Chains A and B, each alone.
Chain A
Amino acid sequence: MPAVSKGDGMRGLAVFISDIRNCKSKEAEIKRINKELANIRSKFKGDKALDGYSKKKYVCKLLFIFLLGHDIDFGHMEAVNLLSSNKYTEKQIGYLFISVLVNSNSELIRLINNAIKNDLSSRNPTFMCLALHCIANVGSREMAEAFAGEIPRILVAGDTMDSVKQSAALCLLRLYKTSPDLVLMGEWTSRVVHLLNDQHMGVVTAAISLITCLSQKNPDEFKTCVSLAVSRLSRIVSSASTDLQDYTYYFVPAPWLSCKLLRLLQCYPPPEDGAVKGRLVECLETILNKAQEPPKSKKVQHSNAKNAILFEAISLIIHYDSEPNLLVRACNQLGQFLQHRETNLRYLALESMCTLASSEFSHEAVKTHIETVINALKTERDVSVRQRAADLLYAMCDRSNAKQIVAEMLSYLETADYSIREEMVLKVAILAEKYAVDYSWYVDTILNLIRIAGDYVSEEVWYRVIQIVINRDDVQGYAAKTVFEALQAPACHENMVKVGGYILGEFGNLIAGDPRSSPLVQFNLLHSKFHLCSVPTRALLLSAYIKFINLFPETKATIQEVLRSDSQIRNSDVELQQRAVEYLKLSSIASTDVLATVLEEMPPFPERESSILAKLKKKKGPGAVSELEEGRREGGELNGGGERGGDASVMATSNASTPSPSADLLGLRSAAPVGSAAPSAGSLLVDVFSEGGPATASASVNDDGFLRDLEQPTEVSDSLLVEGPGDSDSAPPSVASEDPAPPLPEADELLNKFVCKNNGVLFENQLLQIGIKSEYRQNLGRMYLFYGNKTSVQFSSFCTTVTCPGDLQAQLNVQTKPVEPLVEGGAQVQQVINIECLTDFVDAPLLNIKFRYGGALQNVTLKLPVTINKFFQPTDMASHDFFQRWKQLSQPQQEAQKIFKAGQGMDTEVLKAKLLGLGTALLENVDPNPENYVCAGVIQTKGQQVGCLLRLEPNAQAQMYRLTLRSSKDTVSKRLCDLLAEQF
């Protein structure tokens, strides 16, 4: 834009602006503006014609007033008049006013469009440019409607000036971005692509922005641009620095254009044509070679431009992920940058390396830089660079270097910036768990973590430690010793006290032999922390105390004394008070045998029992689990099979106070059958102990979801390493083409969890939680999946696919709706899946989830809990009818029978609830033996209906079941029998 020359200087405007600047107060400014507005109004009054100069001046003043934040409701007409002026400055001010102040006023838009049309057809390049700029600046739909057809013509016309072409390309890009439906490129496509061959570099640069945008939408139509782009790139790269004259920037030929070309190539997979590919590889090598050359200038602009191209080339190499040679070279180049003086370069190098680390070809190469990266983590001055270093360490970690990396990250945590601590803690926890070979190391690490950064350790992290300790006999003694030592520090973090209380309560006896950690010493140590803790922790400690009474009868008197004190038994907090009262009574009334039974050591958590935990977790978030756990711990034996009962009691006390990603899953549907199960004797006790409501939230631990994660981390990590690379393209089709990871080994277990229920938490690890809510009617089902991001960092390229392997495709019809590719930290997204059962089936559909977390690709495959019994319709029938049908289905292939040992207790109510959850009708008074259970139902598929009869005969003495299923179709009987056998 040419500056306003002296002759054109608008003195009135300058005076006005300086007046405004000199105003002392807002009131004075408003007064001055009012005065000026009145003046302009009197000038714009229709009766006298203004010359172009004054019109321009007043329009300028109006523009200035508008930009100061005042409303302008006149002067549009004068601005439009300026458009038809022949003077550049007047036209320019007119366009400026229009671009800033245009609103969808119909009559004016028509006039403006008319003026623009005139200018576009004027053949005066400056006027054409002004008009194009105006269209691009306004970029409204009206503009697009009026000019979307015209601009491509200008763009490709042979006689258009280069500068106009540039403007036209960018203008078209803008219109395409605002209203893609109006910009139809059909006939112009090939001619636009050929702009890449244009003589004028400016035109190419402008055109390439347009092409990149267009090709992202329709990659196929613009496929031809790849070869053109490669040849253009090779011409630029191989040119001497003087060849391109104006477009050489500090000895670097056309850096912007090169970057854009490289970026365009990233929209496409590697070229298939060998010659083109060879040429491209040559280019990339040249770029890498040039990075090694000594700089031609000391100016920062030179190295900036050179590095910009280099980084763009590296991201292209990472995108292709097919040239090991190039990947390694890129990695080495980045390694050099890691020690560069320039902070920005180090940052970029770390960031690119993060993506390189997830490529199988360069993973090893990245690992060689571990020392440098660790050094960067320690010594970098800029926190964002340190953050990148931490990310890279996380990405490059594998079994071989896990110990070193975790140790380094831990030691860094002590001095880490507050803003990244939480993320670091999470990363350390994940790594420690993923690569733990030796569980005492894991315990040490996590305890250290709590010691160093206790405030940033989330509940889940310490839940897991306890889980692991409980499930592994070999570390229990070690853990007890370690926490005992850790607790001796004068100031402990509360999380440490929680872990300590729990572990000593469970396994304190393992170290009680040592006089230095005798029972009383242990108790006194724990109790010394008691008063500094929050209510939930105190509640947990009280539970630990009662466990002590069981473990060490000699401490009974001391502990009873503590429980009896006013500060416990009359505590203002209801939960603490109740615990104190109940524990006191329990300890004084119950005999040692009863105590030992009630307060038995926590059993390890078999997978089979996980359903109820997951269910609770789903309902009330992670906190609720502990409530049940509390119940389990105290309830011990009595609660053996009382899953449903426990559930009911929690339901009763539930108040949904714990916000959780899946809190909305709490549905009445699932509550109804559960509520109907009356609490058994065992669950009664549970009820008493777990009534504390949310106060007990963090009081306890163990969640099977975590447990499972601990046992399978290696698989996940492997897939992580393999699947990582090549996913830099966010376009859905290319992601879909990637192989989903094989299903998790425990996917079947997960499936079994959902046989008898429709809602729950399907899967959970430290990053992601997947909740399910489903409903079925006849042969149709609808499933809502809730993906919760548990971290504070967003997931990118989030993509889920549901596939039906093998025969299932013909048996089940599954439709999904796509989800948003970005999941913000802490957010939850919902996906709806519609299922139609065509005929009976055995397998379950697979759900694959892929997303990027901190640059690393995560890939998880699960089985969707869709089983044949979901399509059950209950049928009620009398005893007589039942046996008649039972006899009708007496062919041997129609019957499936299994005799198996009870996996859990044989509580009547729980069994009933499970059978109801199955979907069948539970028939009372049918079987002559009241102990037996009899059910009937019809499975609805699209093609046919399959009647099903079920008989379950428990043998309480032998703890065995006999399950008999008869249906009109043999596959159905078999499948149902298999499914059900896992449930009891």
Chain B
Amino acid sequence: MIGGLFIYNHKGEVLISRVYRNDIGRNAVDAFRVNVIHARQQVRSPVSNIARTSFFHVKRSNIWLAAVTKQNVNAAMVFEFLYKMCDVMAAYFGKISEENIKNNFVLIYELLDEILDFGYPQNSETGALKTFITQQGIKGQHQTKEEQSQITSQVTGQIGWRREGIKYRRNELFLDVLESVNLLMSPQGQVLSAHVSGRVVMKSYLSGMPECKFGMNDKIVIDKQGKGGVTDEAGKSELGGSSGKQSIAIDDCTFHQCVRLSRFDSERSISFIPPDGDYELMRYRTTKDIILPFRVIPLVREVGRTKLEVKVVIKSNFKPSLLAQKIEVRIPTPLTTSGVQVICMKGKAKYKASENAIVWKIKRMAGMKESQISAEIELLPTNDKKKWARPPISMNFEVPFAPSGLKVRYLKVFESKLNYSDHDVIKWVRYIGRSGIYETRC
């Protein structure tokens, strides 16, 4: 039960303030500003407890969203709501910035009225909201009675995320597998921790009320099938073991509300009636058998008190036919750096004093290649004996495959009432692997 919701700009000025319950006073607004936004030390914890009031905040660029409550609420629920709130706002007016919020404050209050009722989260599905909270304002009043009743039945009905009677000339489906790979590696190349968090994002333009079924190489499903019969296939995969693993172990996953969870629990099949337009079908996380797209080999040598030699090699570790993009390697420099010389074979490298790092950018790089940078860092001798902490070298990139190994096996569409079959639907599948926190100690 959220007591109130505030949005602040970077200075701590209140842009939006909506109080749902009487136990939250106006002074709560100031308490958060004083204790969190203007706190002397940076507040890292997303939950702060000030005078028996809990503040849950998320920060989007320079904007703070804070949910306030005096009760013992489910913190995960509150954060889920805050993220949803961000998604909804982004869907309505794009980037969440101070200016956008100021320009749309009427809309935001309208949204807040709809998605939170007495502090209890309500339907926050963007598609559904867009049917009755429109940005055209007055135009909304010209809706016909039928349209209005249709909206009512949709919002209050069983399938709140899709209205009836949608028609497309071309039935199309877009499916993106977006993954971010996180890594921490020791200087010797030992993996200290690694995991992939992925999302399956869909965009559907389908007529009627189609029933979809999504299949991927989930280990449990594959194993079950393997046992169930087609020994032939299983034998094949054993024979063709060179292609690596066929299935992946998913540690945990969450679904969009349209997915029928009961069926997932019993058969582990993902079937759903998709919303119209953009939505995120599922999220998952894997920790085993991750394909690490890049390997970073650092070499740091201290030459006397005033000089440091750094050599970093990066190796791409995927099929040569694929191309990684937007590669950026960030090599931290000591706080006493007084001068840097850099030589690199590929891409561009630059010492960025404001960030205390050497940033090396490469536009494109094919698989199974390697590249190298070497830098000479001059240091200013200082009188205090503090040793440089040697922060890890971090990396950013984008690769056109899923580092977790996830493969889409099928996505079937059934629409019994309208006359189109699975074959008539045009389907697009795309894999994008990005770096999360991808670090190597040096």
Contacts and interface: CB of A to CB of B under 8 A. Distances in A.
Contacts of B339: 42, 45
Contacts of A73: 335-336, 382-384, 386
Nearest to B42: A26
Interface stretch (B123-131, B205-213, B349-357): B349-357
A31 B357 CA distance: 11
Contacts of A108: 383
B62 interface: yes
A37 B338 CA distance: 9
Interface residues of B, number: 18
A760 to B, nearest CB: 43
A25 interface: yes
Interface in B140-190: none
B336 A41 contact: yes
A124 interface: no
A58 B311 CA distance: 32
Nearest to B339: A42
Contact of A42 (B62, B338, B355, B383): B338
A223 B421 CA distance: 113
A38 B379 CA distance: 10
A32 B383 contact: no
A73 B384 CA distance: 7
B10 A74 contact: no
Main secondary structure of the interface of B (DSSP, over half): loop
Contacts, number: 48
A35 B62 contact: no
A221 to B, nearest CB: 43
Nearest to B351: A38
Interface in B366-405: 378, 380, 382-384, 386
A898 interface: no
Contacts of A76: 383
Nearest to A69: B40
A44 B355 contact: no
Contacts of A42: 338-339
A35 B336 contact: no
B353 A35 contact: yes
A34 interface: yes
A39 B337 CA distance: 9
A34 B336 contact: no
Interface in B319-347: 335-339
B380 A105 contact: no
B337 A45 contact: no
A139 B115 CA distance: 63
A44 B386 CA distance: 19
Contacts of B383: 73-74, 76, 105, 107-108
B323 to A, nearest CB: 32
A105 B385 CA distance: 12
Contacts of A105: 383
B10 A24 contact: yes
Contact of B354 (A25, A35, A74): A35
Nearest to A107: B383
B389 to A, nearest CB: 14
A25 B62 contact: yes
B305 to A, nearest CB: 12
A76 B378 CA distance: 19
Contacts of B386: 73
B62 A32 contact: no
Contacts of B378: 45
Contact of A34 (B10, B42, B62, B353): B353
Contacts of B335: 37, 73
Nearest to B353: A38
A45 B338 contact: yes
Contacts of A107: 383
Contacts of B380: 41, 44-45, 74
Given A24-B62, A73-B382, A76-B383, A34 B338 contact: no
B354 A31 contact: yes
Contacts of B353: 34-35, 37-39
Contact of B356 (A24, A34, A39): A34
Given A25-B62, A41-B380, A74 B356 contact: no
Contacts of B62: 24-25
B64 to A, nearest CB: 12
A37 B333 CA distance: 13
Contacts of B42: 26
Interface string A12-52: 00000000000011100001101101110110110000000
Contact of B10 (A25, A35, A38): A25
A74 to B, nearest CB: 5
A318 to B, nearest CB: 45
A32 B336 contact: no
Nearest to B61: A25
B220 to A, nearest CB: 44
B354 A41 contact: no
Interface in A88-145: 105, 107-108
Contact of A38 (B337, B382, B384): B337
Contacts of A74: 336, 380, 382-383
14 contacts: A34-B355, A35-B353, A38-B337, A38-B338, A38-B353, A38-B354, A38-B356, A39-B353, A41-B338, A44-B380, A73-B335, A74-B336, A76-B383, A108-B383
Given A41-B336, A41-B337, A42-B339, 17 more contacts: A24-B10, A24-B62, A25-B10, A25-B62, A26-B42, A34-B354, A38-B337, A38-B353, A39-B353, A41-B338, A42-B338, A45-B380, A73-B335, A73-B336, A73-B382, A73-B383, A74-B383
Interface of A: 24-26, 31-32, 34-35, 37-39, 41-42, 44-45, 73-74, 76, 105, 107-108
Interface of B: 10, 42, 62, 335-339, 353-356, 378, 380, 382-384, 386
State the 5 A-B residue pairs at the shortest beta-carbon distance, nearest first: A38-B353, A31-B354, A35-B354, A41-B338, A45-B338
